Structure 1
Amino acid sequence: MSSSKQVTSSIDFSSVLAAAVHDMKNSLFLLIQSIETLSDSLSPQNTEAREQVASVHYEASRLNTNLVQILSLYRAELESLPITVDESFVKDLVEDVVGSNALYVSQKNIEITVDAEEDLSWYLDSELIYLLLNDVIINAMRYGTSKILVSAHTDEDEFMTLRVEDDGSGYPEAMLSKSHDALCDFELSQGRTGLGLFFAKLIANAHSQGDRIGSITLYNGGSLGGSVFEVKIP
């Protein structure tokens, strides 16, 4: 006579998923490095292979950004989103983001202009703002045509504004409308209007000075006639 016993255990699936995402992110980072090494070894005359490698690098970078966003959102749910505010030179930060996408930019003949004062510094979490800018610039590369402008300036209200503009067809109306929603009203299953936008608003809101908090704004037009993304940091 045989008997069976059902084995049960209390597994925190969200923690397991977060650990798996962390491992995937590390593996993907190594893959991106390998892609960059492969690109450097290709002959400039081998344009077809270089374009394919650039496209793979772009998609891997997008996936890496999404994994980082998922991890950050998980930590935010635990009320432990790591916020480390320190003085940062804004132009250096922007140029680091642009440099990380140099392979795709070069292969696709995209012109990225950075407009910021050399000595402009601001107190912010440089890692989170890097992630935010990288996601916005990746989208601008995908949906724009050939030009991207990244600018930074301060205003009389003591906010620093980072702006990313492209020469594409602009944001769809649904995304413009969604950008006005509060964090609690976001539906993260709605693709381009979901995770990235929620993550950007989460990072912006995490930066505060007294009763002033960071914010994001999306609109169409600007100097290049396409999408315009702004994040304001107090």
Structure 2
Amino acid sequence: MEPNDTLDFSSILASSIHDMKNSIGMVLNSLEEMIADEGGDACTPERAAQLQYEARRVNDNLISLLTLYKGGEGRLAVNVSEHNVHDFLEERMLHSKSMLEFRGITLEIDCEYDLEWYFDLELVAGVLNNALDNAVRYTKDKLRLAAEVEGDFLVIHLEDNGRGFPESMCVSGAPDGGGVNFNSGRTGLGLYFSSMVAEVHTNREHKGYIAQSNGGVLGGGVFSIYLP
């Protein structure tokens, strides 16, 4: 993705800072309450899980912003190697284990145990970590991580049983650069980051892309990344 190709980085940065400020504010307020409650029960496992979730969201956002900046400057290193996809999905589940348990969300993995594919593990992990962070906020109580080969692409789906995406957020391919909205909580960062990561994965004439739709096995939102 070129520096000015559909990416208003200043808007993405501003809205992402706003989002991270809210998360950091929540963490600080909770820590102050726990410090003031000496010998009390303010530091519960549930509150600790919530704090971990908010801190992880900030960390993931910072990683996404740095990756976008490097991509815009043409300095993003892509390290493609072969990985077991099922193991990779299990690692993503473990990444979000505490928050899933805290919110009573079950996550199912649907992938052949021997499925292997070539991709940049760190970059694609960042995409799915972001997607999982968002999904736990909007699903009712179920998530599904599925992977399969469709033609020349490995397709990884993250499905939920929530209300689904608004029509304006159902996309296929690179986002159009619009729709950053403070009031709705949509920063656009996740879509831009995911789209860029997908696009840097190429194989001959094929280039990776993302899609968001509604339906799937669980009937809610479906986030998909296609890797050639």
Q: Normalising to structure 2: TM-score of the pair?
A: 0.77
What is the alpha-carbon distance in structure 2 between the residues aligned to residue 66 and residue 135 of structure 1? 8
Could you tell me how far 1:54 is from its partner in structure 2? 1.1
What is the alpha-carbon distance in structure 1 between the residues aligned to residue 106 and residue 70 of structure 2? 36
Q: Structure 1 228/193 Cα, relative in aligned 2: closer, same or farther at 3 Å?
A: farther
What is the alpha-carbon distance in structure 2 between the residues aligned to residue 182 and residue 231 of structure 1? 11
Could you tell me how far 1:194 is from its partner in structure 2? 0.9
Match of 1:84 in 2: 79
Q: Structure 1 182/94 Cα, relative in aligned 2: closer, same or farther at 3 Å?
A: closer
C-alpha contact (below 8 Å) 2:174/2:192 kept by paired residues: no
Post-superposition CA distance 1:163-213 (Å, at most 9, x none) = 00000010112211xx34745x41484452611001111111110111111
Q: Structure 1 59/188 Cα, relative in aligned 2: closer, same or farther at 3 Å?
A: farther
Answering whether residue 98 of structure 2 is matched by residue 103 of structure 1, we say yes
Answering whether residue 217 of structure 2 is matched by residue 226 of structure 1, we say no
C-alpha contact (below 8 Å) 1:89/1:119 kept by paired residues: yes
Match of 1:215, as an amino acid? Y
Identity %: 36
RMSD: 2.6
Which structure has more RCO (C-alpha within 8 Å, separation ≥ 6)?
A: 2
Q: Normalising to structure 1: TM-score of the pair?
A: 0.75
Answering whether residue 110 of structure 2 is matched by residue 119 of structure 1, we say no
Q: Which runs of 5+ in 1 are unaligned?
A: 1-13, 22-27, 36-45
Match of 2:46 in 1: 51
C-alpha contact (below 8 Å) 2:165/2:214 kept by paired residues: yes
Which of structure 1's runs of 4+ aligned residues deviate more than 3 A? 180-183, 187-191
**Equivalent residue in structure 2 for 1:170, among 164, 168, 175:** 164
Find the residue that maps to 1:63 and give its secondary structure: helix
Match of 1:74 in 2: 69
Aligned length: 192
Find the residue that maps to 1:76 and give its secondary structure: helix
C-alpha contact (below 8 Å) 1:175/1:193 kept by paired residues: no
Match of 2:102, as an amino acid? Q
Match of 1:186 in 2: 177
- Whichever structure has more helix as a proportion of its residues is 1
Q: Which runs of 5+ in 2 are unaligned?
A: 1-9, 18-23, 32-40
Larger radius of gyration: 1
Match of 1:150, as an amino acid? L
C-alpha contact (below 8 Å) 2:111/2:148 kept by paired residues: yes
Post-superposition CA distance 1:98-151 (Å, at most 9, x none) = 101111111211100011111111000010000001111111111101000000
1:130-145 to 2 correspondences below 5 Å: 130-145=125-140
